[in-house]
Amino acid sequence: MERPPCLLLLLLPLLRVSAATPEPCEVDDEDVRCACNFSGSQPDWSEAFQCIASVEVEIRGGGHSLEPFLKRAEGYADPRQFADTVRALRVRRLSVGAARVPARLLMGVLRVLGYSRLKELTLEDLEVTGTTPPPPSLEATGPALSTLRLRNVSWATGGSWLAELQQWLKPGLKVLNIADAHSLAFACEQVRTFPALTTLDLSDNPGLGERGLTAALCPHKFPALQNLALRNTGMQTPRAVCAALAAAGVRPHRLDLSHNSLSATANPGAAECVWPSALNSLNLSFAGLEQVPKGLPAKLSVLDLSYNRLNRAPRPEELPKVDNLTLDGNPFLVPEASKPQEHSSSSVVPARAPSPLSVGMSGTLVLLLGVRAFV
Ligand SMILES: *[C@@H]1O[C@H](CO)[C@@H](O)[C@H](O)[C@H]1NC(C)=O
Ligand SMILES: *[C@@H]1O[C@H](CO)[C@@H](O)[C@H](O)[C@H]1NC(C)=O
Ligand SMILES: *[C@@H]1O[C@H](CO)[C@@H](O)[C@H](O)[C@H]1NC(C)=O
Ligand SMILES: *[C@@H]1O[C@H](CO)[C@@H](O)[C@H](O)[C@H]1NC(C)=O
244 class by beta-carbon count within 10 Å (0-12 exposed, 13-18 middle, 19+ buried): buried
* Rounded Cα distance, 94 and 59, in Å: 8
Residue in 171, 12, 15, 2 with CA at minimum distance from that of residue 77: 2
Helix (H, G, I), strand (E, B) or coil at 356: helix
Residue range of the domain that includes 203:
198-334
User: Given the DSSP bridges, would you call strands 33-37 and 25-27 parallel, antiparallel or unpaired?
Assistant: antiparallel
CA of 213 to the centre of ligand 3 (A): 21
Residue 188 Cβ inside 6 Å of ligand 3? The answer reads no
Q: Are residues 249 and 159 in the same domain?
A: no
CA of 36 to the centre of ligand 1 (A): 9
Segment (H or E) for 129 = strand 120-129
Q: Are residues 15 and 153 in the same domain?
A: yes
Average of pLDDT values for 50-60?
95
- At residue 110's C-alpha, the angle toward residues 105 and 111, to 5°, is 95
Does 343 map to a domain? no
Residue in 279, 324, 280 with CA at minimum distance from that of residue 306: 324
Does 117 map to a domain? yes
With 0.75 as the threshold, say if the pTM is over it: yes
CB 54 within 8 A of CB 32: yes
Does 178 map to a domain? no
Does 181 map to a domain? no
pLDDT at 353 over 50: no
Q: Are residues 25 and 145 in the same domain?
A: yes
196 class by beta-carbon count within 10 Å (0-12 exposed, 13-18 middle, 19+ buried): middle
Identify the residue whose C-alpha is closest to ligand 1 atom 11.
37
Q: Are residues 323 and 277 in the same domain?
A: yes
Does 138 map to a domain? yes
Q: Are residues 1 and 119 in the same domain?
A: yes
Helix (H, G, I), strand (E, B) or coil at 149: strand
Q: What is the mean pLDDT of the chain?
A: 83
Lowest mean pLDDT, pick from 9-18, 37-46, 147-156, 167-176: 9-18
CATH, residue 230? 3.80.10.10
Identify the residue whose C-alpha is closest to ligand 2 atom 14.
125
Does 110 map to a domain? yes
Confidence of residue 313 (pLDDT cuts 50, 70, 90): very high
Contacts of 359 (CB under 8 A, 6+ apart): none
Residue 7 Cβ inside 6 Å of ligand 2? The answer reads no
Identify the residue whose C-alpha is closest to ligand 4 atom 13.
324
Average of pLDDT values for 210-235?
95
- Tell which of 142, 164, 186 closes a domain: 164
**255, 256, 258, 302: residue to mutate for ligand 4 pocket, most atoms within 8 A of CB:** 302
Contacts of 218 (CB under 8 A, 6+ apart): 186, 188, 191, 248
Ligand in closest contact with the CA of 129: 2
The number of CA neighbours under 13 Å toward the Cβ of 374 is 5
Average of pLDDT values for 20-31?
83
Q: Are residues 5 and 152 in the same domain?
A: yes
Q: Are residues 10 and 117 in the same domain?
A: yes
Question: Is the pLDDT higher at 202 or at 373?
Answer: 202
pLDDT at 123 over 60: yes
Q: Are residues 159 and 258 in the same domain?
A: no
pLDDT at 18 over 70: no
Domain count, the chain: 2
Q: Are residues 206 and 320 in the same domain?
A: yes
Predicted pLDDT of residue 73: 72
Does 347 map to a domain? no
CA of 152 to the centre of ligand 2 (A): 6
Q: Are residues 249 and 321 in the same domain?
A: yes
Q: Are residues 234 and 148 in the same domain?
A: no
Ligand 3 atom with least separation from CA of 283: 1
Q: Are residues 44 and 157 in the same domain?
A: yes
CA of 98 to the centre of ligand 1 (A): 10
Does 278 map to a domain? yes
Contacts of 345 (CB under 8 A, 6+ apart): none
What DSSP character marks residue 136? Answer: P
231, 236, 239, 241 alpha-carbon torsion, rounded to 10°: -40
Lowest mean pLDDT, pick from 46-60, 128-142, 154-168: 128-142
Confidence of residue 13 (pLDDT cuts 50, 70, 90): very low
- Tell which of 318, 334, 350 closes a domain: 334
Identify the residue whose C-alpha is closest to ligand 4 atom 5.
302
CA of 62 to the centre of ligand 1 (A): 7
pLDDT at 3 over 80: no
Question: Is the pLDDT higher at 327 or at 82?
Answer: 327
Average of pLDDT values for 277-293?
95
Residue 64 Cβ inside 6 Å of ligand 1? The answer reads no
